[in-house]
Amino acid sequence: MQEQQSFEFDVRPPIKGYPQLQWTGKRPYRGTVYYPAQLRERYGTETDGWINKLFWGDNLQVMSHLLHEYRGQVDLIYIDPPFDSKADYKKKIKLKDSTVANDSSSFEDKQYGDIWTNDQYLQFMYERLTLCRELLSDTGSIYLHCDWHKSHHLRMLMDEVFGPKLFQNEIVWQYSGWNRKNSSYFNRRHDTILFYTKTNSPYFEPFKLAWSSPEEYAKARKQKVLIEEESGRKYVLSDGGAGKRVKRYLDEAIADGRHIDDVWTIDKLNNSDKEGLAYPTQKPERLLERIVSSSCSPEGIVFDCFMGSGTTQAVAMKLGRRFIGADINLGAIQTTTKRLLSVATSLGEQQESLDVDGSDPDTFYTGFEVYNVNNYDLFRNPVQARDLLMEALEIQPYEQSNLWDGTLDGRMVKIMPVNRIATKADLKVITDNLPYKTYEKRKADNPSQPVEQVTLVCMGHEPDLKASLESELSEYKVDVAVVDILKDKKELEFKREAEAEVVLEGNRLVIRSFYPLNLMQKLSLQREYIEDWRQLVESIVIDWNYDGVVMEPSVTDIPDKKTFVKGYYEVPDTAGTIKVKITDLLSESLEVEVQA
């Protein structure tokens, strides 16, 4: 069966004369297994036999899933992974059109924490870069976005995974910012993008900027403009090599454009930018336009497995490229979905105007599907996963220790990282912090009894996780149990986080009320103080004939930041089972079914 399919990778041997990065617990990544994916939503239709794909889940599992069909088929990968910045990234949530004059109108919601141990981060990236290599085509390229925190380590990892001879550029993205007086270092005003290729024969079409005028060209070249007597054409004298000077005609230079180098000066997004989504770590589209245009042919596939706000996908759609995206955070999936629907609408209007003019329209791939890998719908935001699990499993908090999260039926409970599968490397934080002196005493007092009973809670895990911990602690008798939510607790239900009244009134579907309890709690709002429930809503999509498996919305009510959703919709005569998906300002959704 497909679910049992496995994939093996070539592990590159060390290259003599080149350094190699080592870390505690480093493990060669020699293979993975296939993970199933469930199609949840479909927007639009195929174009030329292709429909774009978004995946919600751990990108290690997403890429393992993609290997079945796309191994060696992806033409461009851009990733903007965690920087190990030791910071929390937050999104500003603001009530729509609120007249509330206190702190209840807005708050900052933590999207993810970028805090790692050094060893965990390096193993995390090593495994994902290996999968990226397996997905790339022979003409493919990968761009890894990072900054000063880890650029030195990541370049060595890229050398190890792709080979140092396939390094192409270290691109400097320079941007402006506030000038501060620092006591020990210069202001930091750039990120780094590491550009590698799969082979020595990549697709590459240098990106060019337009010259605004001949004068700009001459000024940039710092050369005097001359005029040819016979033709009256303007030119400059350029170095032709070997001491020769050659004419460079300005009209030809302007037509050829300005070839960019590896220092890109592009402003960061600010609150006034139209494309800004108030999403932490969002990158400007101009940055991605250069990458996609240069390293992906019009027929190619673009992939980003740290999708965030969906800039890569939006740019790929606008440039007529096919794309695949993934993210562990549901907020990223919802934000990207909303963004792509807006782009698709704009492109559709553009195509219609071309049809009227009689011009040949370009090919744009505007349809996309949303998949869920490994049933990660238990957690809408990994940051909140610990509290959700504590409540759902009835784990009692254990305040006396920084190691254990709580107790359950007399056992010490450790909640493993839930935004990915738990690995043996994750056990180090446990073994480094156990109370070994206490264990020695317990062992002496009761040699036949376990010194500790431990339960590990995870979302997927390496098969030898339990055995590895027991082996690591073989000097002591430790009773280890693993609770895998994906396998052992499939029936686990969390409290419904929203309430809505959705009814049919004649030939209309009417949403009378919507109360997202989680959002209201964060805003400290009671129902009686909500002026209009639509203040809390980001979007509403409706499938008039839901088949019970895949939602295919024909109504997408996605207003701008200041406008409300309608809240009432004309029901077509052909409607059957109606599925309504209401998404609040936290990007959390409530799905309701109504029978026409």
195 and 322 inside one domain: yes
Least-confidence region, from 127-136, 334-343, 510-519:
510-519
Same domain, 314 and 434: no
Q: Which of 488, 506, 541 is the last residue of a domain?
A: 488
The pair of structure tokens assigned to 188 is 């930091």
Last residue of a domain, one of 459, 488, 517: 488
Q: What is the pLDDT of residues 469-479, one digit of tens each?
A: 999 999 999 99
- Residue 318 sits in a domain whose CATH number is 3.40.50.150
Q: Residue 546's domain is classified under what CATH number? A: 2.60.40.730
- 398-420: average pLDDT: 87
Confirm whether 2 is domain-assigned: no
Q: Are residues 355 and 327 in the same domain?
A: yes
In a domain, 11, yes or no: no
**193 and 320 inside one domain:** yes
Answer whether residue 381 shows pLDDT above 60.
no
Evaluate whether residue 53 is within a structural domain: yes
Q: Which of 459, 441, 302 is nearest to 368 (CA)?
A: 302
402: left (phi > 0), else alpha (psi -120 to 50), else beta?
alpha
Q: How confident is the model at residue 1 (pLDDT cuts 50, 70, 90)?
A: very low
Angle between helices 118-135 and 151-162 (to 10 degrees): 40
Residue 2 pLDDT greater than 50, yes or no:
no
Residue 264's φ and ψ, nearest 5 degrees, are: -110, 120
| pLDDT, tens only, 413-436 | 999 987 677 888 889 999 999 999
349 in any annotated domain: yes
Out of 343, 376, 409, a domain closes at 376
- Rounded Cα distance, 425 and 123, in Å: 8
CA–CA separation, 366 and 74 (whole Å): 18
Q: Give the pLDDT confidence of 216-261 residue by residue, as tens digits.
A: 888 887 788 888 888 889 888 877 777 788 888 888 888 888 889 9
Instruction: Judge whether residue 3 has pLDDT over 50.
Output: no
Beta bridge partners of 172: 192, 263
Higher pLDDT, 354 or 332: 332
Lowest mean pLDDT among 161-165, 206-210, 297-301: 206-210
The most confident of the ranges 96-105, 462-471, 570-579 is 570-579
Neighbours of 254 (CB within 10 A): 17
Q: What are 250-293's pLDDT values in tens digits?
A: 888 888 888 899 999 999 998 788 898 888 889 999 999 999 99
Are residues 290 and 343 both part of a single domain? yes
CA 541 to chain centre: 22
In angstroms, the CA 252 to CA 216 distance is 14
Closest C-alpha to 298, from 323, 324, 272, 329 = 323
CB atoms within 10 A of CB 557: 17
The count of structural domains within the chain is 4
Quick one: average pLDDT of 381-408? 80
For residue 23, being part of any structural domain is answered with no
Task: Looking at the structure, tell me whether residues 53 and 198 fall in a common domain.
Answer: yes
User: Is 438 in the same domain as 465?
Assistant: yes
The answer to whether residues 480 and 403 belong to one domain is yes
CA-to-CA dists, residue 276 to 79, 270, 283, 352, 420, angstroms: 19, 7, 9, 27, 29
**Is 70 exceeded by the pLDDT of residue 100?**
no
In this structure, the answer to whether residues 159 and 63 fall within a common structural domain is: yes
Residue 191 has pLDDT above 80, yes or no: yes
**Could you tell me if 130 and 229 lie in one domain?**
no
The reply to whether 80 and 197 lie within a common domain is yes
- Residue 106 reports pLDDT greater than 80: no
Which pLDDT value is given to residue 101?
45
Mean of the per-residue pLDDT values for the chain?
87
Within a domain: residue 359?
Answer: yes
pLDDT digits (tens, 9 = 90+) for 560-595: 888 999 999 999 999 999 999 999 988 888 999 999
Q: Is residue 411 part of a domain?
A: yes
pLDDT band at 445 (very low <50, low <70, confident <90, very high): very high
3-state DSSP assignment of residue 542: strand
pLDDT in tens, 153-175: 999 999 999 999 999 999 999 99
Cα distance between residue 324 and residue 313, in whole Å: 7
User: Is the pLDDT confidence value at 383 over 60?
Assistant: no
Q: Is residue 249 domain-shared with residue 269, that is, in the same domain?
A: no
* Structural domain harbouring 217: 208-259
Residue 298 covered by a domain: yes
Distance, CA of 79 to CA of 140 (rounded, Å): 14
